[in-house]
């Protein structure tokens, strides 16, 4: 049978509750935005939307940076863009590596000819500011320090304010990945002295994947414009992209119009709720999840002070078939959670409570499904205990 004669089934994806490391479920208003009429890239109405999207992103990043915009490409494109534009051959760049995405940053620095200084910590621990201070004092001059704020592979939330101060004292640029934290935890670009910051739309923003919100300080732009050689990646050359996101609107590439519609609406939803209220909701939902999981006999991988509210790593108890349990959640309950990566593969689950999914109702739905699965496996000691414990933790918080 040829492709031309083959009968393809109706397009009907299953409806899942997405509680993995991303993507997250889309907000209904975002879904409606995706069905709006498409416009030309230089249509006056669309250009107004671009300006508004930049303004909304500044509020979310808490920055006054002029160049704040959604890069066309997912979070990894944001990572490549900031590093490709910042790193020239021989530049010393310190990268915190305590998970998969720190490793990815380090690899990109190597590929662009930088002299990598790796600052390592265990998968599940933050980078110690004292390590960074030592590197800045003894290995300088350091052009940039790069860190992951919310490490998606481990669930660690990296403290940043002290590190930003150290970078400014030693004239190093500060690069931060906020792919899994932006919209679910505070990101203070200006007060934390962050020079280049990027994120992704598909996690706590509840928008489709495909854009990487990006913001650059004037210091970062000056460093990019002072390069001795052109950026090695034409598509991600921020000197060229800046011309499209500035008043002149010089065409650079085809922007994903509908994704920008969706992001603008997602940002409106976030700011209507209020950032502090949103962050508090993520915190309370995470506390409910922690308590409910503890009642089921699970332990968490990350120490309490460094847990990322939007993504929790859960240790797999001895004897529990983690893959079978995840499969049952997906097939029998339409709930997706994530497996471990790298050295944590088979040892942890990654459970995301991102954006609109960071609610008590979502936590109770997941815990109820887990109780049913554990009961079927003969591993449930106190039916209903996890739900009661989670609800109490949420209300007490």
Annotated binding-site ranges for substrate: 350
CB 231 within 8 A of CB 85: yes
CB 73 within 8 A of CB 130: no
Q: Torsion angle of alpha carbons 78, 79, 81, 83, nearest 10°?
A: 160
Binding site: what residues are annotated? 350
Q: Mark 131-168 as b/e (b = at least 16 C-beta within 10 Å).
A: ebbebbeeeeebbbbbbbbbbbbbbbbbebeebbebbe
CB 62 within 8 A of CB 271: no
Apex CA 280: angle with CA 100 and CA 397, to 5°?
110
H/E segment holding residue 174 = strand 173-177
Q: Mark 199-210 as b/e (b = at least 16 C-beta within 10 Å).
A: bbbbbbbbbbbb
């Amino acid at each position: 049978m040829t492709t031309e004669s083959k009968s393809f089934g109706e397009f009907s994806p299953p409806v899942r509750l997405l509680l993995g490391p991303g993507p997250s479920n889309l907000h209904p208003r975002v879904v409606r935005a995706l069905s709006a009429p498409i416009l030309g890239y230089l249509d006056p109405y669309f250009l107004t939307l671009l300006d508004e999207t930049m303004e909304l992103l500044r509020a979310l990043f808490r920055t006054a940076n002029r160049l704040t915009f959604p890069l066309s490409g997912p979070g990894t494109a944001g990572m490549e863009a900031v590093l490709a534009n910042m790193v020239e051959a021989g530049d010393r760049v310190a990268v915190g590596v305590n998970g998969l995405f720190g490793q990815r940053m380090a690899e990109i620095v190597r590929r662009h000819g930088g002299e990598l200084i790796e600052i390592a910590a265990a998968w599940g621990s933050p980078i110690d500011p004292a390590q960074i201070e030592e590197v800045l004092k003894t290995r300088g001059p350091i052009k940039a320090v790069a860190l992951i704020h919310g490490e998606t592979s481990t669930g660690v939330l990296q403290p940043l304010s002290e590190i930003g101060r150290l970078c400014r004292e030693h004239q190093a640029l500060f690069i931060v990945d906020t792919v899994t934290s932006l919209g679910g935890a505070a990101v203070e670009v200006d007060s934390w002295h962050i020079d280049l910051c990027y994120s992704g739309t598909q996690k706590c923003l509840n928008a489709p994947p495909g854009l990487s919100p990006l913001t650059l300080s004037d210091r970062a732009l000056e460093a990019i414009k002072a390069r001795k050689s052109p950026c090695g990646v034409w598509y991600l050359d921020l000197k060229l992209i800046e011309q499209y996101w500035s008043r002149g609107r010089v065409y650079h590439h085809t922007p994903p119009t509908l994704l920008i519609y969706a992001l603008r609406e997602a940002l409106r939803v976030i700011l209507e709720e209020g950032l502090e209220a949103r962050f508090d909701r993520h915190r309370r939902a995470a506390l409910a999840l922690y308590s409910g999981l503890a009642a089921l006999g699970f332990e968490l991988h990350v120490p309490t002070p460094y847990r990322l509210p939007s993504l929790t790593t859960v240790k797999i108890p001895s004897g529990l078939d983690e893959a079978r349990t995840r499969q049952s959640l997906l097939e029998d309950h339409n709930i997706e959670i994530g497996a471990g990566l790298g050295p944590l593969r088979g040892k942890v689950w990654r459970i995301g409570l991102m954006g609109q999914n960071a609610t008590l109702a979502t936590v109770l739905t997941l815990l109820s499904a887990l109780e049913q699965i554990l009961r079927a496996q003969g591993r449930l000691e106190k039916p209903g205990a996890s739900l009661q414990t989670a609800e109490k933790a949420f209300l007490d918080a």
